[in-house]
Amino acid sequence: MTTDIGFPAPDVFEAELTRMVDLRLASRIAQRDATVWGPEAAELAATRLGWTDLHTRAAGLIEQIDTLRAELAEDGVDRIILAGMGGSSLGAEVIARAHDADLVVLDSTDPLAISALSDGGDLERSAMVVATKSGTTIETVCAASAFAQALLAAGIEPRGRLIAVTDPDTPMAEQALEEGWRRVFLTDPSVGGRYSALAAFGLVPAGLAGADVQQVVDEAAAVADAVRTDDPDNPALRIGALLTAAHARGVRTLAMAATDDSLAGLPGWLEQLIAESSGKDGVGMLPVACGSVEAPGFEDAHAATALGYLGPAIGTHQPISGVAVSYEAPLGSQLLVWETATALLCAGIGVDPFNQPDVEDAKERARALLQSDASAQDDDEAAPTLVDGPVIVRALESAPVSAGEDAPGRTATDSDADEPAGAGDAGQSLASTVAGLFPSPDDEDGYLAVQAFLSAEHDEAAASLRELLARKSGGTVTFGWGPRYLHSTGQFHKGGRPDGTFLFISADPDSGPTVDVPEAGFDFARLQTAQADGDAQVLADLGRRVVHLTLTDRQAGVAHLLAAIESLPDAAPRRPEDEVAAAEEPSEAGDEGADPVDTVDAADDVDAVDEADAADEADAIDEADAIDEADPVGEVDSIAEPDAHAESDAPVESEVSAETDEAADTVTGTDTDERAR
């Protein structure tokens, strides 16, 4: 296991690392010291630090998973579907992917994704894990009831095919127990969503699908001692200090690429962990999941972007920012190290890693849209800015409006045509409307987020938008499937640094199949549309530039959009060609080229890229000041005793499986507060 760090001002990195070591942050986090993030965060942190030692408590759970898997196999059930959002699906997904286990992840409200549940006679051999910590997440609840209904329609008794993973006493726990579901795994309330990959949320679905979850836990255990030690070689401390020092220096985007096949799913998991933990109070590190080190936005990233190699550092370019990290370790170690590093980053920049204060707005807006009748929604919806073949373009107003004017977020109409140009004014083409969202070349904090409320399986081509737009804009571009991203990067986009522009894409709800949400009074297409409209509106109200594209025909619409964007010229290369060639040239020693991560070695001192150059390019803020300002850990002066919690290897042996003793008997009442996840 190696951690290599590149930083253009090695003394600044070393100072941050030393500060974290001196404050004993690693050991205090491992001992569940809730004061690490300052007094305001302490109350929630006191209920959210159970993830630090999950590897010591997993044995009984894994036994139960194996038993249930064998029972299901005896019944001919070998297709595991996971309904869950954000932290309740991403951990299982990354584990299953690393182990080539066939887990069907349903984190969507797309009617095509929902109807695929019962396609091809697969229902006969299917069971669904319904994973929700709060027990109330709308996508998960709706997916579970659609699956149950599909089973009933096929003459299969649903309760034998439903498995719940949820905190004690949630509505989902109550429903599952009342209806006699096949198994109810009660989870440890002291583990929050994005820190739950090594808890039942990650292990149950992945294990039932055939992943070797014992191996993942062992990999976490192998690095746990190092992670809890206040030593400059602790990989979590090194990554946490790097990200904190980078953030203070104005390097606030982290482009990530897996360089080891078994870690291919890791960027998707890290996106949620880093974005939802750090993106709040107007700050944060924006994670960008890149398909490879060659993908646009990775090695050609600009001076405000750090590079994260998940696996060995490969490739040829030095990052322009000079900031890079590579961490080479198996998946289980990666999970624990990055969780701790992210918690350290949050301590470094002064935010609460465990809340997600801006997630609720979009949910409320979607709920309101679902409750209003369709005709009222039609009235609210202003005329399109443009209709281009199968693509209807609406540009949401970004400027705040004063009393008496239209509500913020209204869409631009023909009557606005003479107003100063905003994204997508009338008369613009589809391509130029999208280009209007590109971050300007001198705005290195700027980024464009594509939010596609489509189906990852059926509209796969849309995912190529990230690379295409990065190539055309030369700037930072992220891509998220909706509503999945609402439970991942959504917090950052609304509450983190306010530098994003947004391209929403959704399908006309009348263009696909109508799949009702059982007993809800609305169908999945309407739910999905309300989620897209709700989040777009919230972002527009926050003053972000938002363009919403509605596709009247999905396939044709995606193809049309891709062609329109392709017609734009490529952005000018960020680096002059001779510089690129020089970086790629074999060195005198005859190696393949420059090492992308110039190592900052804590012990031996430094071999880093030229400090002055990188600092100039990054137009960095004063490092020392910034680090001082963002120093919430400095406020902490007492070290709490480690939380005495019982280790519980053996969950309750019955239909109900409690992940820990706490889960089994301590929780009362249903906490549906956002803070509770």
Ligand X SMILES: O=P(O)(O)OC[C@H]1O[C@](O)(CO)[C@@H](O)[C@@H]1O
Q: State the residues that interact with ligand X by CB under 6 A.
A: 85-88, 132-134, 137, 140, 193-194, 276, 356, 359, 487, 677
Burial class (CB in 10 A: 0-12, 13-18, 19+), 151: buried
In sequence order, which residues have a C-beta less than 8 Å from that of residue 349 and are 6 or more positions away? 244, 247, 248, 278, 283, 284, 285, 630
Indicate the residue among 259 and 277 with the shorter CB distance to ligand X: 277
CB of 166 to ligand X, least distance (A): 8
CB of 177 to ligand X, least distance (A): 18
Q: Write out the H or E segment, with its range, that includes residue 235.
A: helix 235-248
Least Cβ distance, residue 276 to ligand X (angstroms): 6
Our CB check for ligand X shows the closer of 370 and 620 to be 370
Handedness of CA 197, 343, 677, 666 (dihedral sign): positive
Least Cβ distance, residue 661 to ligand X (angstroms): 21
CB of 165 to ligand X, least distance (A): 9
CB of 492 to ligand X, least distance (A): 12
Minimum distance from CB of 593 to ligand X (Å)? 40
Which run of H or of E encompasses 309?
A: strand 305-310
Nearest-CB residue for ligand X = 193
SS3 411: strand
Shortest CA distance to 515 belongs to which of 236, 117, 244? Answer: 117
**How far apart are CB 167 and ligand X at their closest, in Å?**
8
Euclidean distance between CA atoms 382 and 394, whole angstroms: 8
* Cβ proximity of 535 and 491 under 8 Å: no
What is the rounded distance in angstroms from the CA atom of residue 551 to the CA atom of residue 544?
22
600 within 8 A of 7, measured Cβ to Cβ: yes
For 17, 146, 463, 510, the CA distances from 515, given in Å and listed in that order, are 53, 9, 24, 11
Question: Toward ligand X, which CB reaches closer, 193 or 534?
Answer: 193
The distance of closest approach from Cβ of residue 221 to ligand X in the complex, given in angstroms and rounded to an integer, is: 24
| Least distance between ligand X and beta carbon 588 (Å) | 51
> How far is 233 from 276, CA to CA, in rounded Å?
27
Of the CA atoms within 13 Å of residue 440, those in its CB half-sphere come to 2
Q: Which residues on adjacent β-strands are paired with residue 545? A: 501
Q: What is the DSSP letter of 643?
A: P
What lies within 8 Å, CB to CB, of 495 at 6+ separation is: 279, 280, 281, 282, 284, 356, 357, 358
Listed in sequence order, the residues at least 6 apart from 614 whose beta carbon sits closer than 8 Å to its beta carbon are 8, 9, 303, 320, 321, 322
Please give the Cα distance from 62 to 204 (Å, whole number): 8
Nearer to ligand X, 194 or 280 (CB): 194
Q: Could you tell me the smallest distance in angstroms from the CB atom of residue 359 to ligand X?
A: 4
Q: Which is nearer to ligand X, 90 or 246 (CB)?
A: 90
Q: Is the bond into 483 cis (omega within 30 degrees of 0)?
A: yes
CB-based contacts of 32, cutoff 8 Å, min separation 6:
46, 49, 50, 52, 640, 642, 643, 645
| Cβ atoms within 10 Å, residue 557 | 26
The pairing of strands 656-658 and 500-507 is: unpaired
> Which residues are registered as beta bridge partners of 83?
106, 130
**Least spacing, CB of residue 543 vs ligand X, in Å:** 22
Least Å from the CB of residue 192 to ligand X: 7
Q: Give least dist CB 391 to ligand X, A.
A: 29
One-letter amino acid at 136 equals: T
Angle of helix 10-22 relative to helix 235-248, nearest 10 degrees? 120
Closer Cβ to ligand X, 438 or 453, answer by number: 453
- CA neighbours within 13 Å on the CB side: how many for 94? 29
- Tell the smallest beta-carbon distance from residue 493 to ligand X (Å): 13
Instruction: Quickly tell me which residue has 């203070």 as its tokens.
Output: 248
Query: Measured from the CB atom, is 138 or 568 closer to ligand X?
Result: 138
| Cα separations in angstroms, 676 against 32, 356, 361 | 17, 9, 16
Cβ–Cβ < 8 Å for 256, 291: no
